[in-house]
Amino acid sequence: MSDLDTVRREAAEKAYREAVFDLIRQGEISCGYGADLLGTNRVDMIEQLRQQGIPVADYPVEALREEVQEAMQDFTHERYHSG
């Protein structure tokens, strides 16, 4: 393989990786799906995203607070109402 072929291949791989990162950043695909596309595992993908400054989850604080409250209510209800 010539040096030019190597440069083209590496450039194409980098462009593909950056496109996947952009899709994750925009919320178009999940981190897990991005990992699949790049042939890596989710843990390594999360680390790569962290290194790029891309948040894995962009969750509004109020929505997270509500989810935690609902989960606590469900847990409490199941704890006191199960057998």
Q: What is the pLDDT of residues 23-40, one digit of tens each?
A: 999 989 988 899 999 999
pLDDT the model gives residue 81? 67
The count of C-alpha atoms lying within 13 angstroms of the C-alpha of 53, restricted to the half-sphere facing its C-beta, is 0
Burial call 54-77: b when 16+ CB within 10 Å, e when fewer: beeeeeeeeeeeeeeeeeeeeeee
Sorted by where each begins, the domain ranges of the chain are 3-81
Separation CA 3–CA 59 (nearest Å): 44
What mean pLDDT is predicted for residues 46-67? 82
pTM over 0.75: no
pLDDT the model gives residue 68? 82
What mean pLDDT is predicted for residues 55-61? 74
Separation CA 79–CA 3 (nearest Å): 65
